[in-house]
């Protein structure tokens, strides 16, 4: 009985002394790095005016959109909700911009009201004021390579260019716009 009392007393001392030590050594929640912070460029309300080129994505013509982009909780990702007018009709979409520290690439995933759901996550890099995202996914039963090039012109303006690679390996324009921050 005395042995059990000694064990219980030792356990009580370890519990009282050990808990604060364990709490002090608990891992801290991760904090966004400089790459995630750089995504803050896109936070705000943006108006886009541009043109879609005829191709696999549909008929060509003028397009316009308003993007409302905000930090997702934790400030690791930016969520953009978009409403616009495309040559095929009204458009609504949601996109998620992020950064993978493990792979050291920016990421983009999006869906829209046309039934387009990305089966892959676009991967991107940033060199100075230019962001380049690439993707390979199925479109119309065939694998299609695409890339998006975003060039920052100022803190309140950027150009957006989407290209698709043809069977001959040449890049063809699919959509171009100028985006201006309004808030």
Residue 64 pLDDT: 97
Listed range (36-40, 80-84, 95-99, 133-137) with the worst mean pLDDT: 133-137
Cα→Cα distances 177→65, 84, 95, Å: 10, 13, 17
Per the CB < 8 A criterion, the answer to whether 95 and 107 are in contact is: no
Residue 23: pLDDT over 80: no
Residue 142 pLDDT: 79
How sure is the predictor about 181, in pLDDT bands with cuts at 50, 70 and 90? Answer: very high
Listed range (21-30, 124-133, 161-170) with the worst mean pLDDT: 21-30
Residue 108 pLDDT: 96
CA-based nearest residue to 159, from 140, 139, 144, 179: 179
Listed range (53-57, 92-96, 130-134) with the worst mean pLDDT: 53-57
Residue 2 pLDDT: 58
Considering Cα of 170, then 171, then 174, then 176, what sign does the dihedral take?
negative
pTM equals: 0.81
Domains detected in the chain? 34-181 (2.40.128.20)
CA angle 69, 122, 153 (to 5 degrees): 50
Residue 22 pLDDT: 53
- Residue-wise pLDDT for 59-80, tens only, equals 899 999 999 999 999 999 999 9
| 83: CB partners within 8 A, 6+ apart | 65, 66, 90, 91, 92
Residue 32: pLDDT over 90: yes
CA-based nearest residue to 66, from 80, 51, 77: 80
Tokens standing for 154?
């100022």
Average of per-residue pLDDT values in the chain: 88
How sure is the predictor about 13, in pLDDT bands with cuts at 50, 70 and 90? Answer: very low
How sure is the predictor about 28, in pLDDT bands with cuts at 50, 70 and 90? Answer: confident
> Stretch 110-139: mean pLDDT, rounded?
89
């Amino acid at each position: 009985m005395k042995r059990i009392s000694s064990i219980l007393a030792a356990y009580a001392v370890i519990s009282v002394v050990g808990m604060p030590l364990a709490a002090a050594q608990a891992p801290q929640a991760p904090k966004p790095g400089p790459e995630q912070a750089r995504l803050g460029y896109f936070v705000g309300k943006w108006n886009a005016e541009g043109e879609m080129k005829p191709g696999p994505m549909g008929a060509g013509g003028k397009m316009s959109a308003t993007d409302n982009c905000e930090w997702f909780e934790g400030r690791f990702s930016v969520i953009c909700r978009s409403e616009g007018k495309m040559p095929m009709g009204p458009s609504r979409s949601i996109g998620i911009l992020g950064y993978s520290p493990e792979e050291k690439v920016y990421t983009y995933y999006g869906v829209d009201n046309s039934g387009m759901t990305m089966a892959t996550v676009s991967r991107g890099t940033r060199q100075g004021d230019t962001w380049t995202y690439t993707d390979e996914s199925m479109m119309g039963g065939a694998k299609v390579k695409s890339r998006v090039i975003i060039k920052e012109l100022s803190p309140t303006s950027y150009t957006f260019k989407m290209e698709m690679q043809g069977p001959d390996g040449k890049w063809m324009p699919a959509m171009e716009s100028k985006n201006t921050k309004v808030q």
